[in-house]
Amino acid sequence: MYIIQAGWVILPEMKIAKQSSLVIDENKIVEVLPHDEARTKYPQASIINRSDCVISPGFVNAHMHLYGVLAHGIEPVVPVLSFESFLTDYWWPLVEDQLDATMISCACAYSAAELVNSGVTALCDVLEAPYAGYEGLLAQEKVLRSLGVRAILSTEACQRISGEMGWQLLEANARFVRTFKDDPLITGMICTHTAFTCDEQFLSKAVDLAVKEQASLQLHLNESEYESKWTQKAYGMRTCNWYDKIGVLSDKLLAAQAVQVDAQEIQLLAKHKVRTVHVPLSNCEVGGGISPVPALLDASVACSLGTDGYINNFFEVMRASFLIHKGVCCDPTIMSSRTVYRMATQSGSDALYPGKQYGRLQPNAAADFITINLAGLPTTVTEYNLFDQIILYRNPQDVQDVMVEGKFLKKDFTMQTTKPFGFLGRQAAIEAQRLWDKGRSVVAKNKETR
């Protein structure tokens, strides 16, 4: 049993307790008490002093691609001038179609370690590697289990290569869900891509599989204007309207991106209680736009945060979400630091694990938490500014501890369950170069045969 003493504790609904202790017994939170009461009630517990810290629920990365690190800095074979070009000329041929289990494993090890180091205790990954299939999922499962992070894994299924491959990838997801259904750490989800890579029959099959396996379904929603324009041309309506018509929208759906959604689509998302994931930095990188998160929140649409495999520093993602919308809306009062912090923690947990005791520091909840060191800040930390101080002025090096299921993944600023970052980086670099060479070779051969 541990008593973690801290200057601050972030409680459910973003309430704050000052000079309080978190009591941990094995893999559960026992309670939060003032320091003296905790020591008196649990005299045999080991005491860990974190008086300069805030104890917080762990950050939840609700949408990402762990393999994405391998593509950082890769040079496109042709200029990327649009979102469609980004996919067809760059991401699909050079990256997704070339991934194998070894590449996936090395990328997973590096990216997940980066995330844990920055305070992420749970993540939801979409593996976009059609030729890796179920083997790719197992490669990730092995790495993430050894690290000890909580994760939901899936492989993206769609029809862009062939209908048969799409069906196989759907079945791979279903198989993974069944295999790890009762696992306390690693679980699965059904996953598709977009309206422009999946037809009605395919999406209906995905929905049916999710119902059958009692799992959620996740997809990318209107990452740019391209998808909505495509559905308007193909079906005479915007994406969410089409999804509503064919029965895709529900409270079992996790929709990443939700960038180019109009007022009517927002109301549909709210009506069906769809959970959304905001990935602000990635949306900027691909030129997709800025998701109308303030409008989504005003409509009571659940919003969480994700990295999308682009920048794995979760503090940067929180900063982006906190600042970008103020600029877009010309309103400094929107997207308060408390709102953003809720999205990064409690809302993320609710999006991935509805009804489960994660993402909250309360009795009987899983012992998933982080401590963030506040020493060295130039101004006083108060209840009024605590969330601002964390989001704006803290970074991964300030995360002192990370615990998942009662196990320290990072303790006293030192990662406990992974190889050194230098080693992981070198391994990832080797596989990245192999990926780049493989992709360019394939593109060159395709040019020769035209």
Residues 324 and 371 in one domain: no
pLDDT of residue 82: 85
Tell me: do 42 and 110 sit in the same domain.
no
What does R_g of the chain's alpha carbons equal in angstroms?
A: 22
Is the same domain home to 36 and 115?
A: no
CA dist 49 and 20 (Å) reads 11
Q: Give yes or no: residues 133 and 53 share one domain.
A: no
Q: What is the pLDDT of residue 86?
A: 84
CA angle 116, 218, 284 (to 5 degrees): 65
Residue 305 burial by Cβ neighbours in a 10 Å radius (0-12, 13-18, 19+): buried
Domain finish residue from 309, 327, 352? 352
Question: Average pLDDT in the 316-344 region?
Answer: 97
pLDDT, tens digit, for every residue of 52-103?
Answer: 999 999 999 999 999 999 999 888 777 888 888 888 888 898 899 999 999 9
Domain with residue 294: its CATH number is 3.20.20.140
Per-residue pLDDT at 338 exceeds 80: yes
CB contact at 8 A, 351 and 275: yes
208 and 85 within one domain: yes
Q: Mean pLDDT across the chain, nearest whole number?
A: 95
Q: Give the total residue count for the chain.
A: 450
292 falls within a domain? yes
State whether 125 and 213 are in the same domain: yes
pLDDT digits (tens, 9 = 90+) for 278-303: 999 999 988 899 999 999 999 999 99
> Is 110 in the same domain as 243?
yes
Whether 134 and 70 share a structural domain: yes
Contact between 308 and 256 (Cβ < 8 Å): yes
Residue at 435 is within a domain: no
CA nearest to 99, candidates 438, 446, 444, 442: 438
The answer to whether position 361 is within a domain reads no
Percentage of residues in the chain having pLDDT higher than 70? 99
Does 345 lie in the same domain as 205?
yes
Domain presence at residue 423: no
- How many angstroms separate the CA atoms of 242 and 230, rounded? 11
Q: Is residue 26 part of a domain?
A: yes
Residue 260's pLDDT is what?
Answer: 97
How confident is the model at residue 447, as a pLDDT? 65
Among 90-104, 266-280, 386-400, which stretch is predicted with the lowest mean pLDDT?
Answer: 90-104
Report whether pLDDT(123) > 90. Answer: yes
The CATH number given to whatever domain includes residue 399 is 2.30.40.10
Claim to verify: residue 192 and residue 116 sit in the same structural domain: yes
Task: Give 14's contacts (C-beta < 8 A, 6+ positions apart).
Answer: 338, 341, 342, 346, 387
Q: Per the domain annotation, does 322 fall within a domain? A: yes
Does 189 share its domain with 324? Answer: yes
Q: Is the pLDDT of residue 187 over 60?
A: yes
Q: Please say if the pLDDT value at position 180 is more than 60.
A: yes
Is 151 inside any structural domain? yes
Provide the pLDDT for residue 441.
Answer: 85
Co-location of 138 and 158 in the same domain: yes
Counted domains in the chain: 2
- How confident is the model at residue 34, as a pLDDT? 98
SS3 of residue 18 by DSSP: strand
- Tell me the residue range of the domain where 37 lies: 2-57+366-415
Distance CA 250, CA 387 (A): 32
Higher pLDDT residue, 73 or 404? 404
Does any domain span residue 446? no
Q: How confident is residue 39, by pLDDT bands cut at 50, 70 and 90?
A: very high
